[in-house]
Chains A and B, each alone.
Chain A
């Protein structure tokens, strides 16, 4: 187990290093943020240069990269260009909102995807299966902004049942949560459904399930105890990655619903060439993905003795 953790830590660090290089280069490919100042009347070349120097952009790329990484190592993501405050505080201000939205969207995607996936697989080629497959296709192919707009149009504008802009104060504000978490969860439920279905189908076709049936076990025991547990490993992986994606990059849904979350922060950063902000959000997302994958790997051990005992 110790060597397993050490190996995982090492490969996680390598992953994050690669991620930091990519995001560092990508944001810089978007252009010089100081040039946005040309929009101000009377902005001169030396004003732009001065601003760029103030943001440290006059240094060479390697120099900038080293200081970027060095700062990350000390959990300092720098000052946001546009807000002038630290990226870390911006991120953690928004994080609770994103967690709230992602949590409900995650629950919705699981609550729809997993049971429907199981039903589709158990009753393969039946009406259930057609419903499931259609749902998965819609979930995967209808863009979430479109679903979001439809929901806004129906429940927000036509029926006026639910608010659809922003977020009210207070933790138990469920009205503002429903539409964004539905549109976010919808998209991910399709993927969950498909994976649960295919994974279940594979297990249901196996010899050991055949033997379970030959043993005369009740169908409930065959499905819930044997088939479900065996088909859960890939589903767990996807679910964990989905959760992190929902927390950090729910850009479209957060923008449509003006949800004050991290996705919108990222969007603001991208639009305004706010390098430290974009870099900070992406690196945080990377850290979260790496961390969740680590937790999932440990969870595998609980699910599967083959993994547990070979570590």
Chain B
């Protein structure tokens, strides 16, 4: 079946910040990001810890921690601007039209309720599924995430399951409401390496079966290559480069992306692993100009003083670097 691709999620000029110490300290966790996601598409969101990936995920759900606030921007989802919705309208979208998979499967399930109960909740509250058909739905969901003998396992409690199983159950929960979008925030970080691959395959199969869009947060570029159609690379609250996976891998234009790709370990390579020098900046005290300049091997005077603009290239690739500005100018 071929359908015209339709934009599902469009984030425009999104700013979010955390305020602390009575408003005296402001951390700009998301600093003006733009991206779009089509139906059925998978976008990878990569970057080092603390660059705003998780905040971006929570902002899509409009569920930031108490100190956090979305300052401005719009999140267009399925034709409506989420920022204009009331709290209760927003709540009815969460879990129904968008599901989330959290990082730590050992902590994301309520220890006191059965698997059945927790997987059923979104279907029950958002889709009004009840009684026998609810039970069937749970069995079907658990089967789709490959839980063996789901009729028995669904009566058990989270502590009776392994980490991999729990994360699959979290996956089933995210699918329970019949969503159009799933946001997976580093879903494999806390799994064993052998289970990771299994889980990624599962996610990809589920996506092909249900046609949901996927925002996939990771700091592992190898996973991105396997899972995603396109990538957005985040640095210090900004998207510094985005484009199709093929373009980003074959022709990374931003020095940060280049450095990330260089630091992927390669089988058989005996050289020491490349490490990006320095550390991610403190979001409360960002460097002047381009936030990456203290760690950038190509940094010039200009990078220290002026922030580069976004430069779009014909193939949909976008980069935020003075080098790209030059490259675009010279054709």
Contacts and interface: CB of A to CB of B under 8 A. Distances in A.
A215 interface: yes
A306 B109 CA distance: 13
Contact of A215 (B104, B113, B122, B160): B122
Nearest to B157: A305
Given A207-B104, A208-B107, A230-B111, A213 B159 contact: no
Interface stretch (B30-38, B95-103, B202-210): B95-103
Contacts of B304: none
A229 B112 contact: yes
A210 B63 CA distance: 9
B125 A306 contact: no
B154 to A, nearest CB: 14
Given A216-B122, A306-B157, A309-B160, A211 B93 contact: no
Contacts of A303: 112
A216 B95 CA distance: 5
Interface residues of B, number: 31
A218 interface: yes
B63 A214 contact: yes
B177 A230 contact: no
A35 B186 CA distance: 77
Interface in A241-289: none
A34 B94 CA distance: 77
A58 interface: no
Nearest to A205: B65
Query: In this complex, which of A217, A221, A229, A303 has the most chain B Cβ atoms within 10 angstroms of its Cβ?
Result: A217
B126 interface: yes
B18 interface: no
A119 to B, nearest CB: 16
B290 interface: no
A207 to B, nearest CB: 4
B331 to A, nearest CB: 46
A212 B112 contact: no
Interface in A201-231: 206-218, 221, 226, 229-230
Interface in B154-181: 157, 159-160, 170, 173, 176-177
Contacts of B94: 213-216
B81 interface: no
A221 to B, nearest CB: 7
A218 B160 CA distance: 27
6 contacts: A207-B107, A208-B108, A209-B110, A214-B63, A214-B99, A216-B91
Interface of B: 61, 63, 66, 91-96, 99-100, 102, 104, 107-113, 121-122, 125-126, 157, 159-160, 170, 173, 176-177
Sort A-B residue pairs by CB-CB distance and give the 4 closest, nearest first: A216-B95, A216-B94, A207-B107, A215-B95
